[in-house]
């Protein structure tokens, strides 16, 4: 298909989307780049002028940067591992002939509908609070000392909250993929004498590869920018123990009012995201063609 | 499903599935129950399951302290408005990609998606300054614009995967029948893609409703959405447990109900063409 | 009016040339069939005429007017697709009415034309159904109905019957021919089924690798094939070809004899070819014998259905001397 005319039309049709996204991407990015080379602080208006690489050296040289970078990776990978392994197992379970499958699906998907600040508040006050949180009560019931989660295991606690929000997403996509595996394919595999484990490795996993790729892609997009959960619970602390890159930039730029350094951090964040993006897009692009 | 399993196995699986599902659901259940307890009961040393003194006063207090209905109204305007605007821009673009693809179509799609990966913090400062200069700070339309931009790539991608399932023959038949592009899209493509468009709409309303970064940083009193509303409860903790629950429940209830009722549509949409 | 003229039409997809150079004149009211092996460019040619694809170069004239650059909607042609391409979300009535709605016809006229088309095509009792609730044959009729209400300059059919079963195919073949008699509108019909081509066409275009091998009436093609390709393609079962010394006897590089142009005997006579019967396909009315002829290879022979042959029987074949086709080294008929 496609005559010269439809090609022209298709360019016109794509133009609004392409133009707004281009503007959305380029204008702020250029401004961020510009600020990142300036001395620009809202607290100290005397500090102006070209900063050279100063802001970058300041941001990257700070130990908090390395820690935030590591935290970002742990956060993204931790949540991905939990949701994909957990999601696969849960999907396999929900795919069994069980009673109340319809209601179960509704119950399982529910956390996905909960907005991040609410999710964080529930976990923080209702569950992980050492004084009156449910986990505290549970620990006491077993005669244990309640854990002060956000002080003792800040990053782990954030991972738990985020994983709770994204587990339903992974589970339901993987479940849908499982259910699209035709009964015939399974039966054929059974006829060929494959046992449950072989069936999982040779039939089910390859079939799900595409869905898992999509889950990784979508989740990574959102996980790189995790913000509200940290702000509401630990505020990035104690120290920088639960600060990721996104939150570090927020801390530097907005909380400390150092626009120059914040922007430099922003540029670094964009670069990191792009490295991840290129890497992921390659993988997904290949998988989508199939 | 023609699989037969022994009843005992079935009972086992069912029990396991329900236990896990209820554990996952327990935070929401906690909010639901605590919202109707008194503050004293909520933080009692030995916790109760059902509210002993069923009360609605938490909701009244929440509405008093920070106008729920105004925030909910803003949330609706922003999430529905940005989704509709996104569909208006996204449907033509997805049509072009699905039915008049070029060698670069896939790259364009991937590029669009990569703009979603751009960390919001990286561009927060300039956006804040631009919004300040254009007087868009703390306005519903300013926020709607941002929300449209951040969800547009997802909208286009979802629509693209749906459109690709529609046989191009049918659109060509419409062209032969004398339909100009506008009629082809309005009378043939869109009606055929209704299920896909519906799940795109649902998912994006949810994403916009739950978006917490831009809503918090770009709004305060006037245009605040429910995420801003709930954030105002996050600082004073401790004795506010029941009121916090009431506020949380109010913030998530609309989207939770919508999600439950449209679950089938939504899950189909969530798969992003990952499942054929 | 609906004359269609192609002038030096060329089409490439990227680097690949699908149609090297075609010129063709189709007269108003003609029923023309494009026939050829799979992948030879029939659909592409039809889509070029429809305006669904651009020509790489050359002109397409409709009623003498240059339409090469016109979009499909403005060419005034109607097309019936192999997949029917019905609008699944519309009732049969709305499907048929769609082109009229697009042309902004008044409501009363639309109703009248839809009723008429439905009566002509025996669809009156299905008008409120959705396409999904129709059988293949009924769907095809709806697709045709949608095409006729526009009163197009010409109809374009792309293998419209290939998704139907054999019996239905024969029926629909007759119905389309009947429709043509009635409407007297130009029709271009793409098929790879040479029976359809022979029975329906006023003239047939035989295509091979994007080239027109021959353009003529069915009997012309049968009796005077321009080359070996056409000779082999038209006629069923296929013509038998013989190379080498036997062809040289007729001053040709190769010769061809159709299965129906043999005299068959069980005893030797002069000038005959001796062979052994391989497979005998008995259709009742006819029998097709696959005979291994000494020195010449396997040949197909048509006989009447009354005689029976067994595997391994000796037979003697005499080709009808007036019906031997002769071809030169490049395959052109002499
Ligand atoms: N859009 C396209 N891009 C590239 N090549 C194409 C395209 N459309 C068709 N072709 C190629 O052009 C050639 C002719 O295709 P066409 O569909 O016209 O064949 P056809 O004669 O209709 O065959 P069939 O009888 O199988 O329908 C084929 O080799 C096909 O692969
Ligand atoms: Mg074809």
Query: Tell me, what CATH number does C47's domain have?
Result: 3.40.50.300
Q: Do B115 and A27 touch (CB under 8 A)?
A: no
**Residue B1 confidence (pLDDT):** 43
User: What pLDDT is recorded for position A218?
Assistant: 83
pLDDT tens, position by position, A98-110? 888 888 988 999 9
**pLDDT higher at A74 or A57:** A74
Q: Does one domain contain both C210 and C295?
A: no
Rounding to the nearest 10 degrees, give the CA dihedral for residues C113, C119, C120, C122.
140
Q: Is C40 in the pocket of ligand 1 (CB under 6 A)?
A: yes
Q: Which of B233, B239, B275 has the highest number of chain A CBs within 10 A, making it the mutation to test binding with A?
A: B275
Angle separating helix axes A4-36 and B140-163, nearest 10 degrees: 140
SS3 A264: helix
Would you say the CB of residue C41 lies under 6 angstroms from ligand 1?
A: yes
Per-residue model confidence (pLDDT) at position B276? 47
Mean pLDDT across C290-294: 90
Among A274-283, B59-68, B189-198, C91-100, the minimum mean pLDDT is found in: A274-283
CA A223 – CA B209 distance, rounded (Å): 17
How large is the average pLDDT for residues C185-208?
92
CB burial of residue A18 (10 Å; 0-12, 13-18, 19+): middle
* Domain-located, residue A239: yes
What's the CA-to-centroid distance between C13 and ligand 1, angstroms? 9
pLDDT of residue B273: 56
Shortest-distance atom of ligand 1 to CA C37:
25
Distance of CA A8 from the midpoint of ligand 2 (Å): 26
Q: Is the minimum CB–CB distance between A257 and chain B shorter than 8 Å?
A: no
Please, what is the Cα angle at C9 between C7 and C10, to 5 degrees? Answer: 155
Q: Which atom of ligand 1 is nearest to the CA of C192?
A: 25
For B189, the closest chain C residue by CA position comes to C87
Domain count, chain A: 1
The two three-digit tokens of residue A14, written as one number:
């794509």
End position of a domain, from candidates C168, C197, C232: C232
- B160-172: average pLDDT: 90
Q: What is the mean pLDDT of residues B141-159?
A: 92
Supply the pLDDT for residue A258: 77
C61 and C40 part of one domain: yes
* Packing angle, helices B7-34 and A101-109, rounded to 10: 40
Does C294 lie in the same domain as C208? no
Closest to A80 measured CA to CA, from A224, A245, A244? A224
**Sign of the alpha-carbon dihedral angle for C214, C220, C226, C230:** positive
Q: How far apart are CA C226 and CA C212, in angstroms?
A: 11
**Ligand positioned closest to the Cα atom of C210:** 1
| Interatomic CA distance for residues C78 and C145, integer angstroms | 10
Residue C256 and residue C122 in one domain? no
Average pLDDT over residues C90-98: 94
Cα(A34)–Cα(B171) distance, integer angstroms: 48
| Confidence at residue A284, expressed as pLDDT on a 0 to 100 scale | 67
Q: In chain B, where are the structural domains located? A: 7-57, 58-270
Query: Are C190 and C58 in a shared domain?
Result: yes
Closest residue of chain B to C151, computed from CA coordinates:
B177
Burial class, C13, CB count within 10 angstroms (exposed 0-12 / middle 13-18 / buried 19+): exposed
Residue A33 is assigned to a structural domain of this protein: no
pLDDT digits (tens, 9 = 90+) for A229-269: 888 888 877 888 888 888 888 887 777 777 788 888 888 88
Is residue B110 over pLDDT 90? no
Residue A153 lies in a domain: no
Is residue C51 situated within a structural domain? Answer: yes
List, for residues C34-68, the tens digit of each pLDDT value.
999 999 999 999 999 999 998 999 999 999 899 99
The CATH number linked to C307 is 2.40.50.140
Question: What's the mean pLDDT in B81-94?
Answer: 95
pLDDT interval class at B94 (50, 70, 90): very high
Q: What percent of chain B has pLDDT over 70?
A: 93
The verdict on a CB contact (< 8 Å) between B244 and A265 is no
With b for 16 or more beta-carbon neighbours within 10 A and e for fewer, the A209-219 pattern comes to ebbbbbbbbbb
Q: What is the pLDDT of residue B2?
A: 46
Q: Could you tell me if residue C333 is inside a domain?
A: no
One domain, residues C200 and C117: yes
Rounded Cα distance, C318 and C299, in Å = 12
Going C210 to C215 to C219 to C220, the CA torsion angle's sign is negative
Whether A1 contacts chain C with CB within 8 A: yes
What b-and-e string marks burial along A22-35, b requiring 16 or more CB atoms within 10 Å of the CB?
eebbeebbebbbeb
User: What range does the domain containing A183 cover?
Assistant: 64-113+167-289
pLDDT at A234: 83
Confidence of residue B271 (pLDDT cuts 50, 70, 90): low
In a domain, A100, yes or no: yes
- Whether ligand 1 lies within 6 angstroms of the CB of C47 is answered as no
Q: How confident is the model at residue C99 (pLDDT cuts 50, 70, 90)?
A: very high
Q: What is the pLDDT of chain C when averaged over all its residues?
A: 90
Buried b (16+ CB within 10 A) or exposed e, B87-116: bebbbbbbbbbbbbbeeebeebbbbbbbbb
pLDDT score of B230 more than 90: no
On whether the CB atoms of residues A108 and B24 are closer than 8 A, the answer is: yes
pLDDT digits (tens, 9 = 90+) for B55-66: 778 888 878 777
Q: Which architecture characterizes domain B58-270 according to CATH?
A: Orthogonal Bundle (1.10)
Q: What is the mean pLDDT of residues B235-250?
A: 77
- Give the domain extent around C254: 238-327
The answer as to whether C95 is a domain residue is yes
Q: How far apart are CA C42 and CA C19, in angstroms?
A: 10
Flag whether A229 is in a domain: yes
| Residue-averaged pLDDT of chain B | 85
Question: In the sheet where C65-66 sits, what is the strand order?
Answer: C16-26, C4-13, C57-62, C65-66
Domain count, chain C: 2
* A–C interface: beta-carbon pairs under 8 A: 11
Helices A4-36/B120-133 angle, 10° precision = 90
Q: Which residues pair with C78 in a beta bridge?
A: C155
The arithmetic mean of pLDDT across residues C110-123, rounded, is 91
Collect all residues with Cβ–Cβ distance below 8 Å to C84 and sequence separation of at least 6. Answer: C131, C139, C140, C142, C143, C163
- Looking at the domain assignment, is residue A220 inside a domain? yes
CATH of the domain at A225: 1.10.3720.10
The answer on C171 and C24 residing in a single domain is yes
* A·B CB contacts under 8 A: 310
Would you call B179 and C102 a contact, using CB atoms and an 8 Å cutoff?
Answer: yes
Ligand 1 pocket member C145 (CB < 6 A): no
The residue assigned the tokens 């490049």 is C330
Contact residues for C50 (Cβ-Cβ < 8 A; gap 6+): B176, C72, C75, C77, C79, C156
Sequence-ordered list of residues with C-beta below 8 angstroms from that of B187, at least 6 positions apart, any chain: B174, B179, C98
Residue C186 lies in a domain: yes
Q: In chain A, which residues have their Cβ closer than 8 Å to the Cβ of B212?
A: 115-117, 227-228
Q: Are residues C131 and C268 in the same domain?
A: no
Q: Are A121 and B230 a contacting pair at CB < 8 A?
A: yes
Q: Which two tokens stand for residue C211?
A: 């080239």
3-class DSSP assignment, residue B4: coil
**For residue A185, is it within any domain?**
yes
Q: Do residues C44 and C189 share a domain?
A: yes
Q: What is the DSSP letter of B211?
A: -
| Beta strands in chain A, from DSSP E residues, in sequence order | none
With respect to residue A144, please indicate whether it lies within any of the assigned structural domains: no
For atom 7 of ligand 1, which residue has the closest CA?
C13
Kindly state whether residue C334 falls inside one of the protein's structural domains.
no
Ligand with minimal distance to C39 CA: 1
**Helix-strand-coil split of chain A, %, nearest 5:** 75, 0, 20
What was the pLDDT predicted at A144? 80
Given a cut of 80, is residue B131 above it in pLDDT? yes
- C54 φ/ψ angles, rounded to the nearest 5 degrees: -85, 145
Rounded distance, CA C117 to CA A249, Å?
A: 69
Residues 6+ apart with CB under 8 A from B144: B77, B78, B81, B82, B85
Query: Nearest 5 degrees, angle CA B159-CA B106-CA B166?
Result: 40
**Which pLDDT score is estimated for A246?**
83
Q: Which of C232, C253, C288 is the last residue of a domain?
A: C232
- Write out residues 8-67 of C within 8 Å (CB-CB) of A: 51-54
Boundary residue ending a domain (C216, C232, C248)? C232
Same domain, C286 and C224: no
For residue range C215-258, list pLDDT tens digits in order.
999 999 999 999 999 999 998 889 999 988 888 888 889 999 99
> With an 8 Å Cβ cutoff, is B192 touching chain C?
yes
Which candidate, A109, A218, A221, A223, places its Cα nearest to that of B267?
A: A109
* Mean pLDDT confidence for B139-148: 92
Mean pLDDT for chain A? 83
């Amino acid at each position: 298909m496609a005559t010269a005319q439809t090609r022209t039309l298709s360019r016109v049709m794509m133009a609004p989307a392409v133009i707004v996204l281009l503007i959305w991407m380029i204008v702020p990015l250029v401004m961020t780049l510009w600020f990142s080379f300036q001395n620009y602080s809202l607290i100290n208006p005397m500090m102006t002028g070209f900063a050279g690489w100063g802001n970058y050296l300041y941001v990257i040289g700070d130990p908090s940067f390395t820690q935030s970078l590591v935290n970002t990776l742990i956060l993204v990978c931790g949540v991905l591992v939990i949701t994909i392994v957990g999601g696969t197992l849960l999907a396999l379970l929900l795919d069994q002939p069980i009673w109340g499958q319809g209601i179960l699906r509704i119950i399982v998907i529910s956390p996905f509908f909960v907005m991040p600040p609410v999710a964080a508040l529930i976990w923080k006050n209702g569950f992980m609070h050492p004084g009156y949180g449910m986990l505290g009560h549970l620990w006491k019931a077993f005669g244990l000392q309640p854990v002060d989660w956000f002080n003792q295991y800040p990053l782990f606690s954030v991972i738990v909250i985020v994983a709770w929000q994204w587990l339903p997403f992974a589970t339901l996509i993987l479940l849908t993929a499982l259910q699209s595996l035709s009964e015939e394919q399974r039966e054929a595999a059974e006829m060929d004498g494959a046992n449950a484990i072989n069936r999982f490795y040779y039939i089910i996993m390859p079939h799900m590869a595409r869905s898992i790729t999509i889950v990784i892609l979508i989740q990574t997009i959102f996980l790189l920018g995790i913000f509200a959960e940290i702000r509401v619970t630990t505020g990035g602390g104690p120290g920088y123990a639960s600060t990721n890159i996104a939150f570090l930039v927020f801390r530097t730029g907005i909380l400390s009012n150092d626009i120059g350094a914040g922007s430099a951090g922003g540029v670094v964040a964009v670069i990191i995201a792009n490295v991840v993006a290129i890497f992921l897009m390659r993988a997904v692009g290949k998988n989508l063609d199939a | 499903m023609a699989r037969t399993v022994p009843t005992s196995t079935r009972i086992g699986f069912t029990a396991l599935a329900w236990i896990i599902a209820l554990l996952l659901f327990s935070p929401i259940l906690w909010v639901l129950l605590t919202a109707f307890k008194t503050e004293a009961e909520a933080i009692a040393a030995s916790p109760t399951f059902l509210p002993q003194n069923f009360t609605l006063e938490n909701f009244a207090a929440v509405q008093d302290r920070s106008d729920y209905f105004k925030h909910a109204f803003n949330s609706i305007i922003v999430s529905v408005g940005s989704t509709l605007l996104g569909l208006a821009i996204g449907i033509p673009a997805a049509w072009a990609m699905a039915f008049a693809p070029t060698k670069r179509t896939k790259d364009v799609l991937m590029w669009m998606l990569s703009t979603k990966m751009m960390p919001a913090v990286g561009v927060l400062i300039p956006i804040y300054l631009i919004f300040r200069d254009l007087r868009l700070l703390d306005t519903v339309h300013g926020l709607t614009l941002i929300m449209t931009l951040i969800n547009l790539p997802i909208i286009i991608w979802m629509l693209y995967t749906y459109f690709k399932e529609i046989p191009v023959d049918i659109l060509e038949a419409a062209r032969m029948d004398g339909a100009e592009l506008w009629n082809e899209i309005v009378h043939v493509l869109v009606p055929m893609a209704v299920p896909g468009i519906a799940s795109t709409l649902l998912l994006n309303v949810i994403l916009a409703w739950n978006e917490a970064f831009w809503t918090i940083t770009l709004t305060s009193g006037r245009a605040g959405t429910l995420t801003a509303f709930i954030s105002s409860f996050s600082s004073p903790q401790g004795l506010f447990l029941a009121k916090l629950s009431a506020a949380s429940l109010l913030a998530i209830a609309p989207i939770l109900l919508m999600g439950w009722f449209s679950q089938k549509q939504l899950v189909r949409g969530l798969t992003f063409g990952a499942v054929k | 009016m609906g004359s269609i003229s192609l002038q030096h039409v060329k089409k490439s997809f990227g680097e690949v040339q699908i149609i090297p150079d075609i010129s063709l004149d189709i007269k108003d009211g003609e029923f023309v069939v494009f026939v050829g092996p799979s992948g030879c460019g029939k659909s592409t040619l039809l889509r070029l005429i429809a305006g669904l694809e651009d020509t790489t170069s050359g002109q397409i004239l409709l009623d003498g007017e240059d339409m090469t650059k016109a979009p499909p909607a403005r060419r005034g042609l109607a097309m019936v697709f192999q997949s029917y391409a019905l609008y699944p979300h519309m009732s049969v009535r709305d499907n048929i009415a769609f082109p009229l709605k697009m042309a902004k016809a008044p409501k009363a006229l639309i109703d009248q034309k839809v009723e008429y088309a439905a009566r002509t095509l025996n669809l009156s009792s299905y008008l409120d159904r959705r396409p999904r609730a129709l059988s293949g044959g009924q769907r095809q009729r709806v697709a045709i109905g949608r095409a006729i209400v526009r009163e197009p300059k010409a109809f374009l059919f792309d293998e419209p019957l290939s998704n139907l079963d054999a019996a239905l195919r024969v029926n629909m073949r007759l119905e389309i021919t009947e429709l043509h008699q009635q409407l007297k509108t130009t029709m271009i019909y793409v098929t790879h089924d040479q029976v359809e081509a022979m029975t329906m066409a006023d003239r047939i275009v035989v295509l091979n690798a994007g080239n027109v091998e021959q353009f003529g009436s069915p009997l012309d093609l049968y009796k005077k094939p321009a080359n070996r390709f056409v000779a082999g393609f038209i006629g069923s079962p296929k013509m038998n070809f013989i190379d080498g010394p036997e062809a040289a006897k007729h001053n040709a590089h190769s010769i061809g004899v159709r299965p129906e142009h043999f005299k068959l005997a069980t005893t030797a006579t002069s000038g005959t070819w001796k062979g052994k019967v391989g497979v005998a396909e008995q259709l009742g009315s006819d029998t097709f014998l696959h005979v291994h002829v000494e020195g010449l290879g396997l040949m197909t022979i048509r006989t009447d259905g009354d005689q029976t042959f067994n595997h391994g029987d000796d037979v003697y074949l005499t080709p009808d001397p007036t019906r031997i086709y002769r071809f030169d080294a490049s395959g052109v008929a002499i």
